[in-house]
Amino acid sequence: MVKVTLALAAFVAVVAASPRSKRTMHVHERRENVPSGYVKDGAAPSDHVLNLRLALVQSNFKSLEDKLYAVSTPGNAEYGQHLSKEQVEALVAPSSDTTSAVKDWLSSHDISSNTISPAGDWVGINVTVKQANTLLDADYSTFTHQSTDEQTIRTLSYSIPADLKSHLSLVHPTVAFPVKPFGSPKVVGKFSKKSNLTADAAPASCATSFTPTCAQQLYGIPSAPATQPSNRIAVAGFIDQWANLADLKSFLQTYRTDISPSTTFSTVLIDGGENDQSTPGIEANLDTQYTVGVATGVPNEFVSVGENNPDGIDGFLDIINELLGEDDVPNVLTTSYSFNEPDLPFSIANNLCNAYAQLGARGTSIFFSSGDGGVSGGQSQSCTTFVPTFPSTCPFITSVGGTTGIPETAVDFSSGGFSTLFAIPDYQSADVSAYLSKLGSTNAGLFNKTGRAFPDLAAFGVNVEIVFGGEFGTVDGTSCSTPITASLFALLNDELIAAGKSPLGFLNPFIYANQGAFTDITSGDNPGCSTDGFSAGTGWDPVTGVGSPIYSVLRTAAGL
Ligand SMILES: *[C@@H]1O[C@H](CO)[C@@H](O)[C@H](O)[C@H]1NC(C)=O
Ligand SMILES: *[C@@H]1O[C@H](CO)[C@@H](O)[C@H](O)[C@H]1NC(C)=O
Ligand SMILES: *[C@@H]1O[C@H](CO)[C@@H](O)[C@H](O)[C@H]1NC(C)=O
């Protein structure tokens, strides 16, 4: 309560103290209060230099979205005809009017800018706090995070000239405070020097010890190596989690004795990312072990995104812009990290979601874990309304929930629900309406019936065997389900490319059109916020989506 009052007082002071500039200024974004965990210290030093980035309005995002659906919807005349780098950039580049309107405004303040994204929709400027306060009618202040003592400079509100509203979508850093993604599976079994399992035969019980062989058996995933060198699976790494090569080797020596133990991944470093082999990351190890270990023979790339990320969303946008800058994008990108949607301003979430649409149009299948807090968000927490997770709520990515047991049921931590930012896309609207009519008034008022619903599908997510720091043990989480699912689709892409066909690209229209290619998960629920959450049932549900994949049926559905 005290915090809220302080924040409101600060905001009122900003408005009162703002100098009026000659051009009519309109408040572009503002937040009502300081996010929980932060306290405001006072004005930021006026000569401190801010590296600001401005997102220009994309000229033709609607056409890009139409193209994305055309190339991703089975039966469409353009199905599989993914766009080139140049084609995507032409659709999202800002118009010359937009670029000059923004540049003229900056020059009128003697500020020069440079282009910082492949399509030219982001520009960067370096200005002092004093200049930024004048340019944006802002009140840049220093805030301290109470538990980490980390200081950050932000403003609770900023304005732009009224006539630039249709040209400028957002400025960062302004009102978006640093957010850390959730990741990291939960450790279940005690880690020990020796594996409890022998060779790579399936364990006596895959339900209690899940290995790559279990994934192959459960979903019919082939063990024969992929053949296409142009096919690539990328694994995203964040929060200083590094994938360990020695651990991967002992994982393969134990669980994939049929392939070379030196099978490995390449590493790409962005935003000051590292590849420190002395400190393995549990999430990074899980993700690389279950992509190298399941997507047999598919070229594998670990993208380590560092903490020097200026994009306002912990490097999540930087990695996408990095990939969009390449002529050949990976066919699959898997990420087992997520945010709670309410922690993000719509402007930043929407800009990133649009970047996923661009990568999807290029032909990448993008997977995100749905989260491990049931209906309470990325991690279990107390809540009064359900907390959806992002990027799962972005309609342009594929969200993966979790299952347990054989035969599979929904696992109780599997996050799922409905966006409060993004509207429901056509590809799922009939299935979601069918679910909502069965649901009736259960959970009414706790979620947004018109939002994009997630997850889209699910896979096994408990008692998953990994190697970490030279020891063997098991972990739980949708962090496990995601690389397993991504690997299955990477192998389908290999077969498609070998047959001279296009890779699958953005998957959701294909998934909802081919529900017979999934094992419907019909029991279990995802409790949270002092409720039982949602229940899995016949058809799509916000716990396990359309169900878990069946390789052989997906093969046929993909035209193989
Ligand atoms: C802003 O500063 C960064 C280094 O911090 C530099 O790379 C960039 O080119 C500068 N941008 C402009 C527009 O001067
Ligand atoms: C529900 O989702 C829609 C997007 O479909 C959004 O515009 C609306 O603000 C959301 N409502 C609530 C109460 O979150
Ligand atoms: C392996 O067995 C040991 C000893 O019985 C046990 O402590 C450990 O939790 C087991 N590890 C796994 C991954 O099951």
Q: What pLDDT, in 10s, does the model give residues 96-130?
A: 999 999 999 999 999 999 998 888 999 999 999 99
The residue contributing the CA closest to ligand 1 atom 13 is 113
From the alpha carbon of 450, which atom of ligand 2 is closest? 5
pLDDT surpasses 70 at 557:
yes
Q: Would you say the C-alpha torsion 401, 407, 409, 411 has a positive or negative sign?
A: negative
Which band of pLDDT confidence, cut at 50, 70 and 90, is reported for residue 10?
A: very low
Residues 502-512: what's their mean pLDDT? 98
pLDDT at 19: 44
pLDDT at 413: 98
pLDDT at 199: 61
Residues 175-196: what's their mean pLDDT? 87
Beta strands 457-460 and 398-404, pairing class: parallel
The residue contributing the CA closest to ligand 3 atom 7 is 190
pLDDT surpasses 80 at 12:
no
pLDDT surpasses 50 at 92:
yes
pLDDT surpasses 80 at 330:
yes
Residues 267-295: what's their mean pLDDT? 96
Q: What is the pLDDT of residues 366-376, one digit of tens each?
A: 999 999 999 99
Residues 69-88: what's their mean pLDDT? 98
Q: Could you tell me which residue, 352 or 23, shows the higher pLDDT?
A: 352
The residue contributing the CA closest to ligand 1 atom 2 is 126
Query: Is 473 near ligand 3, meaning CB less than 6 Å away?
Result: yes
Query: Is 379 near ligand 2, meaning CB less than 6 Å away?
Result: no
Which band of pLDDT confidence, cut at 50, 70 and 90, is reported for residue 1?
A: very low
Residue in this structure with the two tokens 């009414």, named with its chain if needed: 444
pLDDT surpasses 50 at 300:
yes
CA atoms within 13 A on the CB side of 16: 6
The residue contributing the CA closest to ligand 2 atom 14 is 420
Query: Is 365 near ligand 3, meaning CB less than 6 Å away?
Result: no
Considering every ligand atom shown, identify the ligand nearest to the alpha carbon of residue 112 and give its number.
1
Residues 489-509: what's their mean pLDDT? 98
Q: How far is the CA of 436 from the centre of ligand 2 (A)?
A: 16
Residue 185: name the closest of 283, 294, 293 by CA: 283
CATH number 3.40.50.300 is the correct assignment for the domain at 190-558: no
Q: Would you say the C-alpha torsion 74, 76, 82, 85 has a positive or negative sign?
A: negative
CB 496 within 8 A of CB 502: yes
Q: What is the pLDDT of residues 448-469, one digit of tens each?
A: 999 999 999 999 999 999 999 9
CA–CA distance, 273 with 329 (Å, rounded to integer): 20
Helix ranges restricted to H, 178-259: 212-219, 245-255
pLDDT at 2: 29
Mutate to test the pocket of ligand 3, among 186, 187, 188, 190 (most ligand atoms within 8 A of CB): 190
Query: Residue 38 is encoded by which pair of tokens?
Result: 């932060």
pLDDT at 7: 35
Query: Is 450 near ligand 2, meaning CB less than 6 Å away?
Result: yes
Residues 411-434: what's their mean pLDDT? 98
Residue 234: name the closest of 195, 158, 287 by CA: 287
pLDDT surpasses 90 at 46:
yes
Q: How far is the CA of 418 from the centre of ligand 2 (A)?
A: 9
pLDDT surpasses 50 at 178:
yes
The CA-atom distances, in angstroms, between 444 and each of 386, 413, 534 are 11, 21, 11
CA–CA distance, 278 with 404 (Å, rounded to integer): 33
Question: Is residue 287 among the annotated active site residues?
Answer: yes
Q: How far is the CA of 281 from the centre of ligand 3 (A)?
A: 21
Residue 342: name the closest of 429, 253, 448 by CA: 448
The residue contributing the CA closest to ligand 2 atom 13 is 448
Q: Is the pTM of this model over 0.85?
A: yes
pLDDT surpasses 80 at 16:
no
pLDDT at 510: 98
Query: Is 196 near ligand 3, meaning CB less than 6 Å away?
Result: yes
Question: Is residue 479 among the annotated active site residues?
Answer: yes
Question: Is residue 301 among the annotated active site residues?
Answer: no
Q: How far is the CA of 539 from the centre of ligand 1 (A)?
A: 52
Cα-to-chain-centroid distance, residue 402 = 16
pLDDT at 200: 59
In the chain, where the domains are located: 25-58+94-172, 190-558
pLDDT surpasses 90 at 516:
yes
pLDDT at 115: 92
Share of residues in the chain with pLDDT > 70 (%): 95
Average pLDDT, the chain: 93
